[in-house]
Structure 1
Amino acid sequence: MPSAISPPEPPAPKAARGGRDAVPATNKKRKIVCFSDFDGTISLQDTGHILFNTYGCGSSKRELLDSQINSGERTFKDVSEEMWGSLNVPFEDGFELMSQQLEMDPGFAGFHAFCVKEGIPFHVISAGLKPVLRRVLDEFLGEEQSSKIDIVANEAEIKEDGSEWKPVWRHGESELGHDKAVSMKEARREVNREVAGKKLEMKEGEEEEVPLIVFIGDGVSDLPAAREADVLFARKGLRLEGYCVEHGIKYLPFDSFADIQKKLEEILEEDEKKTGGKGKPARFNPRANMWRRVSSRNAVPRYVVMTPKEERMFLWPEAFTLAVDDTRSRP
């Protein structure tokens, strides 16, 4: 068994983890749904980069291609197609390399077990390839636990001999290939439909459930999805946290998914303490943070002129593209 991606140790007993008694999902006043990026968030490296560096364009060419995205010379989707198209390796051989080099967040397995126990749906939203991510999760968590995670990512056409890797984009019309904001909005609508159905079945005197959407990420490509969340977790020291600090956007920092688990346990406990007896959340108010106010299509903030083109396109895809620099017409 390769050492980098090995099955996690069984979660420690609740008392050792400082956890709380499990609360059956049916007893919760509010539905919590978690969404997470994968590369750099659940895994500590980028799955694609490991493959490209060894079996594709190589690290030097990959860095050049990344710079073309950052400069606005080419779109994310265009560059990604070239990177994936450079691969010439059978899928299983490529995964063998990843299993040796890829490191997973040490707290992720325990966090996933916590979500399953608490009835919290967990979804991966990624700009990567779904077959690659599923294979990694199958190996790391085991197929049974991996199957409980919904992966929202791009599909792929991979020839058996590995001579061709072709992404099948979720949003082919978008320069992003996968517009994470669209996927998050679709997910929120689905959650709202579920809540609306429960509301019709509510008895007199029962309190309405208010869904809480959580997003976990690390980089600029997570900005579209992050702005759709009620609670944002950003990995410490990386670009998403830097952007939030620079622009005063509320977020919760984390080093490991164990930090996220602890905070969600606090949220669950705090939600059980009602304010004024009206069943309102004690601290976290869905869709009431600064993030969406400064990120909306109709409220592009004045500091946009100072924002790098890559970040403008990810944060306001409706208003900007990587190919066109139109900030001079903006406030």
Structure 2
Amino acid sequence: MRALPQLYIDFDGTISATDTTDLILERFALPEWHDVEAAWERGEMGSRECMARQVALLRATPAAMAEMVQQIAVDPGFMGFVELCRQWNLPFTILSDGLDVVARGVLQRLGVDAPVLSNRMEPVGEDEWRLTFPYSSAGCATAAGNCKCACMEAGQRRTGGLTILIGDGRSDFCGAGSADQVFAKGKLAAHCRDHAIPHQPFTGFADLTALFHDWLVRNASPAAAAAE
């Protein structure tokens, strides 16, 4: 019997309707965060340094942050995709180079129980924050806070199952190169086309759910298929 596939889903711009880190910075950060963003876009620093410096510029109480998280919109088709995974007894992991406070808060609001591998926000004093990186890697090619390819490779070694990545952006590039199956939109889809990485394009969870169902029928383990 084959092992269950290991399913990894990006959060920002994939589950959420937009980049939630930018929303929070626009709402709560000192104006200098724009200068840090510009330096990152010029290639002067990796995403890990960029996000650490930007989070240090936030000025929001934990209560204000939690209230903001409750307002974050998600892809309207996401819960249909979650139901498909439940029917097939297929767990998934949220793999994000964003903020764990956001991903965990949104999933809790939706009633979705899934592991979150993400950068960790910690309150410092009354209204300041710091960011730590429990899933970083010294050898990360993009100096990301969360090295997605390292997380996926560790999961594959642990279980032996096929690895599936669903994502949309730059933080998913390295993971796409090591995944057995990629479902991609946005910048990730363009990256896969440009680098001849096999992938299945999608526009949102409404069309992805049907595509993923077909993939499961062809590739899932007998145990998962029996649960369908």
TM-score (norm 2): 0.86
Name the CA distance, whole Å, in 2 between partners of 1:110 and 1:160: 40
Please tell me the root mean square deviation across aligned C-alpha atoms, in Å: 2.0
Q: Which residue of 2 aligns with 1:51?
A: 24
Q: Which residue of 1 aligns with 2:217?
A: 269
Q: Which residue of 1 aligns with 2:206?
A: 258
Name the amino acid aligned to 2:179: A
Name the CA distance, whole Å, in 2 between partners of 1:240 and 1:86: 29
Q: Which residue of 2 aligns with 1:22?
A: none
Query: Which residue, 72, 78, 82 being the options, matches 1:112?
Result: 82
Name the amino acid aligned to 1:187: G
Q: Which residue of 2 aligns with 1:277?
A: none
Name the CA distance, whole Å, in 2 between partners of 1:136 and 1:161: 23
Identity of aligned residues (%): 29
Name the CA distance, whole Å, in 2 between partners of 1:271 and 1:239: 26
Report matched runs for 1:224-235 at 5 Å: 224-235=174-185
Q: May I ask how many residue pairs the two structures share in their alignment? A: 216
Give the deviation of 1:97 after TM superposition.
2.6
As a proportion of its length, which structure holds more strand?
2
Is the contact made by 2:176 and 2:197 (CA closer than 8 Å) also made in structure 1? Answer: no
Cα deviation 1:265-291 (Å, max 9, x = unaligned) = 21232348xxxxxxxxxxxxxxxxxxx
Tell me: CA distance 1:34–1:172, structure 2 relative to 1, closer, same or farther (3 Å).
closer
1:39 aligned to 2:42?
A: no
Is the contact made by 1:35 and 1:124 (CA closer than 8 Å) also made in structure 2? Answer: yes
Report matched runs for 1:281-296 at 5 Å: none
1:156 aligned to 2:121?
A: yes
Q: Which residue of 1 aligns with 2:226?
A: none
SS state at 2:39 partner: helix
Name the CA distance, whole Å, in 2 between partners of 1:167 and 1:116: 32
Name the CA distance, whole Å, in 1 between partners of 2:125 and 2:83: 34
Q: Which residue of 2 aligns with 1:131?
A: 101
Larger Rg: 1
Give the deviation of 1:63 after TM superposition.
4.2
Name the CA distance, whole Å, in 2 between partners of 1:228 and 1:51: 31
Give the deviation of 1:75 after TM superposition.
2.5
Give the deviation of 1:228 after TM superposition.
1.8
Is the contact made by 1:50 and 1:98 (CA closer than 8 Å) also made in structure 2? Answer: no
Q: Which residue of 2 aligns with 1:83?
A: 54
Is the contact made by 1:34 and 1:214 (CA closer than 8 Å) also made in structure 2? Answer: yes
TM-score (norm 1): 0.61
Is the contact made by 2:152 and 2:163 (CA closer than 8 Å) also made in structure 1? Answer: no
Structure 1: segments with no counterpart, 5+ residues = 1-27, 193-210, 273-331
Give the deviation of 1:41 after TM superposition.
0.7
Query: Which residue, 49, 73, 86 being the options, matches 2:44?
Result: 73
SS state at 1:77 partner: helix
Name the CA distance, whole Å, in 1 between partners of 2:86 and 2:164: 15
SS state at 1:227 partner: helix
Name the amino acid aligned to 1:39: D
Tell me: CA distance 1:227–1:169, structure 2 relative to 1, closer, same or farther (3 Å).
same
Q: Which residue of 2 aligns with 1:188?
A: 156
Give the deviation of 1:39 after TM superposition.
0.5
